[in-house]
Structures are given as structure tokens and as C-alpha cells.
Amino acid sequence: MSDRIHTLSGYFYEYQKSVTEPESFWARIADSFHWKKRWDKVLKWDFEGPNVKWFVNGKLNITENIFEKNLFAFGDRTAIIWEPSEPGEDVRTISYKELYHQVCQFSNALKSKGIQKGDRVIIYMPMIPEAAIAMLACARIGAIHSVVFAGFSANALTDRIIDSGAKAILTSDGNYRGNKKIGIKAIVDEALEKADVETVIVCQRTGQDVTMKAGRDHWWHEVIVGEKDSNVAKEMDSEDPLFILYTSGSTGKPKGVVHSTAGYMVYTKYTFENVFQYSPGDVYWCTADIGWITGHSYIVYGPLLSGATTLMFEGVPTYPDPGRFWAVIEKHKVNQFYTAPTAIRALQAYGTDPIAPYNLDSLKVLGSVGEPINEEAWRWYYNHIGQSRCPIVDTWWQTETGGILVSPIAGITPTKPAFATLPLPGIQLAIVDPEGNELTGNSVEGNLCIKYPWPSMIRTLWGDHGRCKETYFSTYKGMYFTGDGVKRDHDGYYRILGRVDDVINVSGHRMGTAEVENAINEHPLVIESAVVGYPHEVKGQGIYAFVICDMSHRTEENLINEIKETVSKIIGPIAKPDKIQIVSGLPKTRSGKIMRRILRKVAEGSTDNMGDTSTLLDPEVVTKIIEGRK
């Protein structure tokens, strides 16, 4: 861990170096990895294409940097601690050596099923070690994995199977959610009524009944029989795609964010070690799901590349009771704990009684990710979980950025509640006004852009490079646009203010308003809808839908419930609107554009000042909507 920052002046020194000599800065860090062939040039780029290549012509395999590079040094060290949903069930601990053999064996099984370099493999699994094994096995043979969060519906899964052109799906029989069993394989079956893959491999978890289609479906425990538990990792080019991860944008169709191999590897390891100040032997726990980028970069790749012990938790924060997180921290003596503001706020609502029985002295660092953390939640987390002695790292980043870009370095960067503080080395931020002029100096507010490439940045959107250019590189010329608003205060500290586009952040999950509208519009009695976010105490933002319906067939209550179910079916329960208001019309401009600004005000309940309404086609509509708000 020689690239470790130890002091604040060390941080400023490294940051400066990363800006003045970015190529030699990243070359130094990349040199500590195992390359089958070293790169010819560190970076080639333009943001016009965009066309970004890191470690050009380097050859490597990311799993060799997790296993072969380290097995002699610490093969017996624990790689994964798995905590099951049911507190009484046995914990699984898997050493680096054991993980290596399981990854090799499963990757050999994938090869036997005809899966090759470049093929897309969907992973639709619960939080069990096999999910991480599945990802690493794909990486081992060069198949491109695309993990789909197991809370997404069959419909959403179908879309991702088709868009990625997946050859195989790796899944499980079922999933535990509290004391419920959810059929995961059944959802895959439903998804495959409208899409096609050659192979489905099913890991047994709940033991519930499943239907297996002969020739297509196989049991995980059967396909590994007779497969060798070692192999040679496939040689990959630095820029070969490692994975696709779908995320929401401002149009209805999810975007397949593509990450490549070498840059992602270098950046996730570097940021993991520095941000969390991880030391060998520490137990690190990130509560995210592997279906999101946080799970990819900071449960699986970053920690395992660092030889860390990473805890994987199958359950939910409130099962069997709201003390579960704290019980797990005590049980496994967790040193670094990384979670989302929405979880903190949800647990805060239970007060401090659920914390009292547990010893949290092992904690050294707390992390926050996914949405702005409000000051109150920050203080509660700091005082009651961190016992006023653990630094909080408020980490700002995105699916597209691959790794953390703005964050304190634990214990080194002085923190301020609700501030992500300063950019990590290599990250050149710009705050711009609506015309794209960069706002320099402190005490400014605007849209957050990035001026220079970093190794783990998005390379393209799967199958649609034009949309990648359009979404991220066209709003402001020569810059990557994040979609977030930001403030730089008098100290030069960054505070993320939230999305400035039609994306809302519900419990740290990113939702496109257009995506939710499309789902609502699937209900046969819906004529038109408009969705906005509004402040929600626990979720950060809630989903508020204004819907015009044919009211002649149902009561309002029935209709509202049916619409919620429709959304749940089309996207998944996470996208269910919190509030639905049936309206007779939507506020539109003369050119037919919905004035969301007005709807946001109504949803927030701040209707005394509606701002400029002079462009409205029919102001009467707004009066009716305000009256109809309950």
C-alpha cells in the first residue's frame, strides 16, 4: 500500500502532482499492479468523441491482480465474510485461496457452457458469495458481466437481457427478504418469455421449488462438478469492457454504462485504500447491494484488489429488528462501515435504544454514499454510531464515474457535515453556469463538470455511443457533465446539492422521471402522467405522480392502487410512487411542454409563490391541481 496518503499536506502534494503530471502520476500507481504486458502510453483522450483510453495496449486480467499477485503473500487471509439474513444461520468465511479456487472452478464451468471473451452474462442474484464469484468468474474468462439488482421486475430484466444481448443468466432459486422467500428464478422465467438466452445457471439458496427448462437451465452445484479449480486467466486489453451496469437517465430507456478493465482496476483499488484508510486485517463492510455500482467497486473489486476482508450482508437493516446493523458490527468487529443516508435516517427514526446493547468500539471509519446527507443525519451517525470519534467520509460519485471522485480521506481531510469536501487526486472539477462558463474562485454555485479524464470513467453506453456523447459530453463543450448541482464554499469545500436534470434519487436509487411515467402510462386507463420528486424524510426524495385518467370505470382509490402495482410490475417495487394525485389536466406551455417546475412546487407543498406562470396555456389547471392536493 505504498500509494497511501498519510497526511493532509501529502494529499495536497499528490493532488498537485496528479494535475500537473497526470500521466506519470497514474503510471506510478499502475506500476504496482500485475500486467501481462505493460502499456505503451498512459492516456489518449478527447471529450469530443468521446474517446478515452487508459494504459493503452496494456494486457492484464483483473482477477490475476486479486489472486495470483497475492496468493503467496496472504492466501489464507479472509477475503469474504458472509453474514446471512437469518442471524442464527452459519456465517461463511472464504479465504483468498478458497475464493480463487471457487472462481476458477466456476469460470471453467462457464467456459464449458460455451461462454467466451466478450459474451454478455447477466447476474440476477441475491447477496450471497456466489454473486461475487459469478462476477469474478466472468472477469476471469473475459465475459462482460451485467449485474441486475434482484429487486427489478421481470419486465426490467427483459429489457436488460435484450439490450445487452446476453448469452447467459446467472441466478438463484430464491432470495430472503426478512422472513419472506422471494422467487428469483420465477422472475427470470417470466423475463425469458419475451427474451432468449442460451444458458441459465441457478444457485441453490432458499431450496424453494423452481421450474428448470431442459437444455437451457442448469444447477450451479451440478455444472461445477468435474471442473478443475484452477486455470489461466484470459488476457484482456486495458480497454476491453469489464462490465455493463444499467442506470436511469432523463429518458425512459435505461442506459448501459460500460466500464473497461485497467482504468477501473487501478482507480477502485487506489480510492478504496485511500478514502477508507484500510489497513491489512481490518474488516470492512459496505451495505450496498452488488446490483449497484457501490457494490461493484466497494464490495467486490476495490476491496479484493487491496487484499481486504470484505463483509457481505444478505439481509435488510430492520430484520429481525432495527439493531441488526449494530449487531453485525459487533459480531464481526467491523472497522470501516459504509452505508447510505436513507438507511441512517430510517434507523435514526428508532432512536438510540436499538444501538445500546452493542459494542461499536471496533469502528474506525464511517462512510456515506448515494445521496446528499443532511446535517441532522450526519450528526446522528457521527455521535451515535461513530461515538464522536470516527471520521465520516461523505463520498460523492456516480455509476458513470466508476469510483469515488469527491470525498474526505478518512481522518486526514477535516470534515464538515453535508460536505463531500475535496476532489481526490486525479479529479479536476469545474463548476459552470448555465452558459457553460467556468466559475472560478470560492463561494460559487452551479453545475458540476469534470474537465479531465480519470481512469475509471465511463467509456460508452452499450450499443449507443451517440447517447453517451449527447448525455455527458455535449451540454458543456469539452467537459463531462455530472447532472448534479454543487456549491463550493468559502473554504473551497464541495457540497453536492442534488440532480439538476429529470433524475430523482429515491433512497439512494436513481430513477428517471420519464421511466416512471412510461410505466404509469402502461395502465390502460391512464391518459397522461407527470412525475416529479419531492423532499421525503427518510427516502431523501419521494416520487409524486400527477395522473390524468379515464375515471368512469374505477374508484379513485382502486385506480391509485392499480397504478402503483403497474409500476411495480414494469420496473420494480423501488419505483412505486409515494403519492399519486389524479388530475384533470397538467400545466403545459403553449408548445405543449409540461411545466415540471410548477408540479415540483405543488408536490413540495409550497404553493404560495408559483413563480412565473405567464407561459402557461391554461392557468386554471394549476388552481385545480393545488385544490386537489391532499
Residues in touch with ligand WT7 (CB under 6 A): 247, 292-294, 368-372, 394-399, 420, 482-484, 496, 498-499, 505, 510
Give the integer Cα–Cα distance in Å for 496 and 486. Answer: 5
- DSSP symbols for 115-179: --TT-EEEEE--SSHHHHHHHHHHHHHT-EEEE--TTS-HHHHHHHHHHHT-SEEEEESEEEETT
Q: Is omega for the bond preceding 280 within 30 degrees of 0, making it cis?
A: no
Output the smallest distance, CB 473 to ligand WT7, in A: 16
Residue 189 or 289 with smaller CB distance to ligand WT7: 289
Output the smallest distance, CB 447 to ligand WT7, in A: 11
Residue 396 or 480 with smaller CB distance to ligand WT7: 396
Residue 588 grid cell = 403545459
Residue 233 or 575 with smaller CB distance to ligand WT7: 575
Residue 307 or 370 with smaller CB distance to ligand WT7: 370
Output the smallest distance, CB 370 to ligand WT7, in A: 4
Residue 96 or 494 with smaller CB distance to ligand WT7: 494
The amino acid occupying position 564 is K
Q: Indicate the residue whose CB is closest to ligand WT7.
A: 399
Output the smallest distance, CB 101 to ligand WT7, in A: 31
Residue 450 or 625 with smaller CB distance to ligand WT7: 450
Output the smallest distance, CB 244 to ligand WT7, in A: 14
Output the smallest distance, CB 366 to ligand WT7, in A: 13
In order of 395, 396, 430, 580, the CA distances from 434 in angstroms are 25, 22, 13, 32
Give the integer Cα–Cα distance in Å for 493 and 297. Answer: 25
Of 537, 525, 558, 548, give the one whose Cα is nearest residue 599: 548
Give the integer Cα–Cα distance in Å for 513 and 577. Answer: 10
Of 139, 125, 178, give the one whose Cα is nearest residue 262: 139
Residue 395 or 581 with smaller CB distance to ligand WT7: 395
Give the integer Cα–Cα distance in Å for 604 and 376. Answer: 20
Q: Can you tell me whether residue 617 is helix, strand or coil?
A: coil
Cross-strand bridge partners of residue 246: 256
Give the integer Cα–Cα distance in Å for 461 and 471. Answer: 10
Residue 163 or 394 with smaller CB distance to ligand WT7: 394
Output the smallest distance, CB 156 to ligand WT7, in A: 15
Output the smallest distance, CB 567 to ligand WT7, in A: 18
Residue 199 or 368 with smaller CB distance to ligand WT7: 368
Return the number of other C-beta atoms located less than 10 Å from residue 533's C-beta: 25
Output the smallest distance, CB 24 to ligand WT7, in A: 28
Residue 141 or 420 with smaller CB distance to ligand WT7: 420
Residue 287 or 398 with smaller CB distance to ligand WT7: 398
The amino acid occupying position 500 is V
Cβ atoms 168, 132 nearer than 8 A: no
Output the smallest distance, CB 174 to ligand WT7, in A: 26
Give the integer Cα–Cα distance in Å for 481 and 461. Answer: 15
Output the smallest distance, CB 143 to ligand WT7, in A: 23
In order of 415, 566, 598, the CA distances from 408 in angstroms are 7, 42, 37
Torsion angle of the four alpha carbons 343, 344, 345, 351, in this order, in degrees rounded to the nearest 10? 120
Residue 155 or 287 with smaller CB distance to ligand WT7: 287
Cβ atoms 378, 349 nearer than 8 A: no
Output the smallest distance, CB 80 to ligand WT7, in A: 21
Give the integer Cα–Cα distance in Å for 625 and 610. Answer: 12
Output the smallest distance, CB 337 to ligand WT7, in A: 15
Torsion angle of the four alpha carbons 459, 464, 470, 473, in this order, in degrees rounded to the nearest 10? 10
Residue 303 or 483 with smaller CB distance to ligand WT7: 483
Beta strands in 390-523 (DSSP E): 392-395, 429-432, 444-450, 460-461, 480-488, 494-499, 503-506, 509-512
Give the integer Cα–Cα distance in Å for 187 and 158. Answer: 10
